[in-house]
Structure 1
Amino acid sequence: MKHRSLLIPALLSGTLLSSVQAATVPDSATLADDQTFTYRVMDEFSSFDPQVVEGVVGAEVVRDMFEGLYNQDAEGKNVPGVALSHTVSDDNMTYTFTLRDNAKWSDGKPVTAGDFVYAWQRAVDPELASPYAWYMELMSIENASAIIAGDKPNTDLGVSAPDDHTLVVQLSQPLPYFDKMVSHATTFPAPKWAIDAHGKEWTRPENIVSNGAYVLTEHVLKERSVRKRNPMYWDNDNTVIEKVVTLNIGDEAQGLTRYRAGEVDKTEIPAGQYPTLKDEFPDEAYALPRLCNYYFTFNVASGPEAFKDARVRQALSYAIDRSVITDAVLQGGQFPAFTFTPGATANFEVPEVEYATMTQAERDAKAKELLTEAGYGEGGETLSFNYLYNTSETHQQVAIVATQMWKQKLGVDVTLENQEWKVFLETRGNQNFDMARGAWCGDYNEASTFLDLLTTPSGYNDGKYSNAKVDSLMTEAKSSQDTTPLYAEVEKILADEMPVVPIYHYSTNIMLDSAIQGWPINNVEQTWYSKDLYKVAQ
């Protein structure tokens, strides 16, 4: 079978590999004696297992401890991880990755193509019930769908290892952005021998075996975790940060207080405080565009009967003044959202949807009209429901403002309910909610990472919205040379049916100690690795 080579650009020697793979310290910089990076996380991690983890902060930790085929550089482009390069067959259905021969696990065993085969088969195995099994299906890997459905054994997955340093992936259909998807945690290798020996406890610090730049050395539930440099990592000589500490601090204001006290090097900025903090700390307060959306999702399957009416869903969406949330509440450079896909997404042209062109007064008037037509509001039944969000001061503020708008404009009664992250994920995933907070950060930089969430088979379609036309358009987009009209049509359908309410597109609002250098501020996915950072003396 003919293949065309797709080498990662400019990676032809060990020197060049090091320059893009690890911390690049200028000659003029004076490194701090203590190379410890400490940062705040809001919730306990869902898991340290790459095939099980979900959530942004969990993925950040797993990226430090495990390394997949490719990593991302400071601009968000692919650079070698365990794989040095890949080739693609002429029909775009077979990807062959060449793995480096110096990658090792933390116990000294070599990282092989078989470790990827095992991990990918594990990810689609119904027995594991990975919350990201659907991601492997999205990758169009041959037989993934049938395996996830329980119709074929996981050994039938289209991935094989002809030898220790060659990984072959067979697709069920061409996927132009397939190589962008292999820097995601679910695709990282897994150590079968450690999992066989320890079962679900294999990720405990005393049991875990990892192949990334760091190893987990301490984990105190809901309090702290520590990871230290992995001396077996292939590029350990070019890693600078010695130790990474996460502190669980649920309250954003407390996180800021501890940042001011010098106890953490990074924390999120509380809602509304970015302008003040930017004046006070011009070199440490950041508001960076980020490939994430914030939305409310309707449970259209088992939620209130009213939510089955698109007019009700539209009314609730129209009545939210998004600019109040972004400009008065958050004040951190967020963008009011009228489409599900952020405008910062690569090669995505934001389509014009009708309600985005209205003034807020026009949207409010239309919201009352729609709700009345549906039999609620003035002269009709009072609409009431519960809104679920995960515990956070910012999420609470957004929820309060939105529910006040609904009450004042439409007479809607909403009961707020919050849960800690892991419980929230389970509750939402089991459809035990009326309306719930949703947010999604792109797994790769292409519009499908957002729009696929609202297809019928998506594992993260927690509201269980289903539209055959959306499914068909998204399937067509996977092999289309021009996805713009397809994605535009999907967004217009979503605006008409409103299965979710887009609220805003994210900006990363963080306080980052000026001593920490190497942060990828130009990567809209905000994919960062501790191995790329370093700490200067102050």
Structure 2
Amino acid sequence: MRPGRISKVLAAAAALALALSACTGTPPAPEESSAAPTATEGGNVTVLEAAPFTSFNAASVTGQTATNTRIDAATHSGFTTVDNDLKIVKNEQFGTYEKVKDNPLTVKYTINDGVQWSDGAPVTADDLMLQWAALSGWYNDAVLDENFAVTSGTAYFHAAGDHSGLAQTERPVISDDGKSLTLTYTTAYSDWETALGSTVSIPAHIVAVRAGLADAPALSSVLQSVQQGDPSKQAPPNPTLRKVADFWNTGFDSRSMPNPSLALSNGPYLVKGITADQELVLTRNADYAWGEMPKLDTLTVKYESDTDKQIAALQAGAADVISLSTTQNSAARISALDALNDDGVQIQQGQGLGFDQVVLNFKGVLAPPELRQAFLHTVPRQEIIDEVARPLIADADANAEADAEVLNSFVFRPGQAPYKESSGSNGTKEFAADLVETEGIEQAKELLDGAKPTVRILYNQDDPERVAQYQLIAASAAKAGFTVADAGKNSKEWVAALKAGAFDVALYGWISNPTGSVQLPQIFRTGAVSNFNNFSNTVVDQLTEQLALNPDDAKQNALKMQIDKLVVEAGYGLPLFQRTTLSATGKHVAGVKYSPLDIGPWQSVAAWAYVK
């Protein structure tokens, strides 16, 4: 990511990585594996990750990768975690937070005595102040172009993620004892519980020294003195804040073991050593006492991008834990894992946060609503379930076929309470998955009335499941009279084509945010960063604004149901199916659990244990 970009780029980057937050569902509980073998204290477990570790700041634009985020989760802690039911779990051993006032929304965070960085320095409100500054975009006064590049003004912190919530706060207040930070929101914010992040990962006292300041309180003094940024009243860059932000942005990036001060931990494990692009070794944090205590002495992370080689390493005993991303799952790989059951390999599997979808472009050949409706009547969703989704579920799950089902909501998941009501009323039943051949094709022909429009279907040619989806959809659409142009074939730059709107139909997936609703506007609001298909509806725009302001769960669900219905009725597209998450473990490790979250099995890292 080139300099001059700020946090909105992350929303774009997240979208380009196809990681979105729509609202979340509660995944069905996975099948429990057979009785775990007896585990011991100590020992080492080896994990294979697809990409090397590159940064100790997983919240920055350059540092937010899957591997960095997983190491961050193992080496840092905070006020909350998210469990497998996608519920926020408070870690009151680390500290507490409380809503002290509703109007204006006011939240107080307090860190417990004894919580410390691995160099012995206490974790304080100064660390929270820096985190707020980085994640809020509060000081930025930059003007951005349509690609989110800075055209004028200053973008200080390049944080990866949406900052719309924390941007609506006043400057925080630190308590006299330095243990508490109080945030007051100028506008109510529904996702306030997770706005400040799940871990406290960047030590303010280290950033302060690297920026030429005496200590963390001195850094907080700078953050207290610089005025809030205003693009309409741009000011010359503050040189001290510029140094602080520049170090936060890239100062923690490293492929090899840096100065130990840049690798500080406040979580269950410490980074002991890094061999660039080869391995990273974690060791138990002996001082950690504000969360679940780790069981392993060490944890070795190695890198292998080839999923087939990961499976082979698991079979050979060269790896103890592997996790397959949703885009790496294939029927052949699932079969290969199933075949290893007799070798002591266990599979952890359940519904994930990712889902596949068909999305139609509102500009171009499908601009007329009747043509969008016609195309959607041809989408063979039941065939896609039978031929694409079911083979992606391992036989280890006794309820595999029951879990592979057509998804009938863009907003809710089958495990979430409102799903049944919303899917029954949002209009998806008009496109019954099992009636395409008998009724859908005929309805499409009637709407086309003899026309034979050419539609460009875009997809990732390197994803065999998307290729299979394309083939099924193209064949079905042709039966109704559509002429299909393959926009995915020989297109290595399909993401760029998606951004540019060079498609009429696109096949891609989103990964839902585990909690909250604030990202819905990023997809469905007119002109939003992840609105790739030019969808625009003034009522949906209004509803997404209300959603971000309303913290009441029942009212949020009512707003989401309205959005779900309006999106389907407009011919936005159709959801296809939820993807499963999958990890596998060898016979020398226990305690690894399924998780629907992006960090996958690392969610349970403190419980991992070595088995002799």
Alignment of 1:281 onto 2:355: no
Q: CA deviation at 1:172?
A: 3.4
Q: Is the partner of 1:102 in helix, strand or coil?
A: coil
Determine the structure 2 residue equivalent to 1:119: 131
**The residue matched to 1:461 in structure 2 has which SS?**
coil
Aligned partner (choices 374, 380, 390) of residue 452 of structure 2: 380
State the partner residue of 2:566: 493
* CA distance in structure 2 between the aligned counterparts of 1:65 and 1:180, rounded to whole angstroms: 19
Quickly say closer, same or farther: Cα 1:392–1:56, change in 2 above 3 A. Answer: farther
Contact preservation (8 Å) 1:428, 1:462: no
Q: Which sections of structure 2, spanning at least 5 residues, go unmatched? A: 1-34, 141-154, 212-243, 394-402
1:290 aligned partner? 352
Which of 298, 303, 306 is residue 365 of structure 2 equivalent to?
Answer: 306
The CA deviation at 1:497 is 2.2
How do 1:52-67 and structure 2 match up within 5 A?
52=61, 53-54=63-64, 58-67=68-77
Deviation of residue 227 (structure 1)? Answer: 4.3
Aligned residues: 487
Residue type of the alignment partner of 1:294: D
Kindly tell me: are residues 368 and 82 of structure 1, through their superposed partners in 2, closer, same or farther at Cα, counting changes over 3 Å? farther
Deviation of the 1:206 alpha carbon: 0.8
Aligned match of 1:103 in 108, 115, 127? 115
State the 1:189 CA deviation: 4.5
Counterpart position of 2:185:
171
Q: CA deviation at 1:181?
A: 5.0
> Is the counterpart of residue 516 in structure 1 residue 589 in structure 2?
yes
SS state of the match for residue 383, structure 1?
A: strand
CA–CA distance in 1 between the matches of 2:365 and 2:406? 26
Greater displacement, 453-462 / 118-127: 453-462
Q: Indicate the SS of the match to 1:287.
A: strand
**Which is further off, 32-41 or 230-239?**
230-239
* 1:202 aligns to 2:215 (yes or no): no
Q: Helix, strand or coil for the counterpart of 1:202?
A: coil
Shift of 1:209: 3.3
- Local SS of the residue matching 1:305: coil
Q: 1:253 to 1:316 in 2, by over 3 A?
A: farther
Residues 234-261 of structure 1: CA deviation (Å, up to 9, x unaligned): 5599222344444444443333222222
Q: Structure 2 vs 1, CA of residues 129 and 99 (structure 1 numbering), >3 Å: closer, same or farther?
A: closer
| Distance in 1 separating the partners of 2:476 and 2:312 | 32
The residue type paired with residue 536 of structure 1 is Y
DSSP 3-state at the match of 1:78? strand
Counterpart among 336, 349, 353 of residue 406 in structure 2: 336
Residue pair 2:353, 2:596 contacting (<8 A) in 1 also: no
Q: How far off its partner does 1:535 sit?
A: 2.3
Q: Does the Cα contact within 8 Å between 1:241 and 1:534 map onto a contact in 2?
A: yes
Q: Where do residues 41-52 of structure 1 align in structure 2 (5 Å cutoff)?
A: 41=50, 48-52=57-61
What is the aligned-residue identity percentage? 13
Q: Provide the rounded CA distance (Å) in 2 between the counterparts of 1:241 and 1:419.
A: 45
Counterparts of 1:485 and 1:124 in 2: how far apart (Å)?
Answer: 28
Aligned pairs for 1:421-432 within 5 A = 427=496, 430-431=499-500
Q: Amino acid of the residue matched to residue 71 of structure 1?
A: T
**Larger RCO: 1 or 2 (CA < 8 Å, sep 6+):** 2
CA contact (8 A) 2:56 2:252 kept: no
Q: 1:358 to 1:393 in 2, by over 3 A?
A: closer
Is 1:469 equivalent to 2:539 in the alignment? yes
Equivalent position amino acid for 1:256 in 2: I
- Give the Å deviation of 1:113: 1.6
Change (3 A) 1:117 1:428: farther
74, 82, 90: which one pairs with 1:79? 90
SS at match of 2:252: helix
- Which structure's CA Rg is the greater one? 2
The answer to whether the Cα contact below 8 Å between 1:160 and 1:167 also exists between their aligned partners in 2 is yes
Q: Structure 1 residues 360 and 493 mapped into 2: Cα distance closer, same or farther (>3 Å)?
A: same
Q: Which one of the candidate residues 473, 484, 507 is aligned to 2:557?
A: 484
Residue aligning to 2:40 = 31
CA deviations 1:2-38 (Å, max 9, x no partner) are xxxxxxxxxxxxxxxxxxxxxxxx9994327632241
- Map 1:129-144; keep pairs closer than 5 Å: 130=158, 132-134=160-162, 136-137=163-164, 140-141=165-166, 143=168
Match of 1:152 in 2: none
* 1:157-199 Cα shifts (integer Å, max 9, x gaps): 55332342112122234445532555546x7545433574856
Contact 2:514 2:597 in 1 (8 A): no
**Within 5 A, what are the aligned runs for 1:131-280?**
132-134=160-162, 136-137=163-164, 140-141=165-166, 143=168, 157-163=170-176, 164-175=178-189, 177-180=191-194, 182-184=196-198, 189=202, 191=204, 192-193=207-208, 196=244, 200-204=250-254, 205-207=257-259, 208-211=262-265, 212-216=267-271, 217-218=273-274, 220-221=276-277, 225-230=280-285, 233-235=288-290, 238-264=293-319, 265-268=321-324, 270-272=329-331, 274=334, 277-278=337-338
Structure 2 residue aligned with 1:413:
485
**Secondary structure, aligned partner of 1:413:** strand
CA drift of 1:493 comes to 1.0
1:99-137 C-alpha deviation (Å, 9 max, x unpaired)? 123233344433222222222222233525747442x31
Q: When the two structures are superposed, what TM-score results if normalisation uses the length of structure 1?
A: 0.74
Label 1:73 to 1:493 Cα distance change in 2 as closer, same or farther (>3 A): closer
User: What does residue range 428-467 of structure 1 map to in structure 2 within 5 Å?
Assistant: 430-431=499-500, 433-434=502-503, 437-446=507-516, 453-456=523-526, 458-467=528-537
For 1:317 and 1:520, the matched residues in 2 are separated by 38
Contact 1:30 1:536 in 2 (8 A): yes
Tell me, yes or no, if the aligned pair for 1:345 and 1:446 is still in contact at 8 Å: no
Residue 532 of structure 1 is matched in structure 2 by: 606
Determine if contact 2:36/2:590 at 8 Å carries over to the other structure. Answer: no
**Quick one: distance in 2 between partners of 1:459 and 1:188?**
27
Q: Distance in 2 between matches of 1:224 and 1:314?
A: 51
The two structures have a TM-score, normalised by structure 2, of 0.66
Distance 1:463 1:229 in 2: 48
For the residue of structure 2 that corresponds to 1:490, the secondary structure is helix
Q: Which runs of 5+ in 1 are unaligned?
A: 1-25, 145-156
Q: Is the 8 A contact 1:292 1:342 kept in 2?
A: no
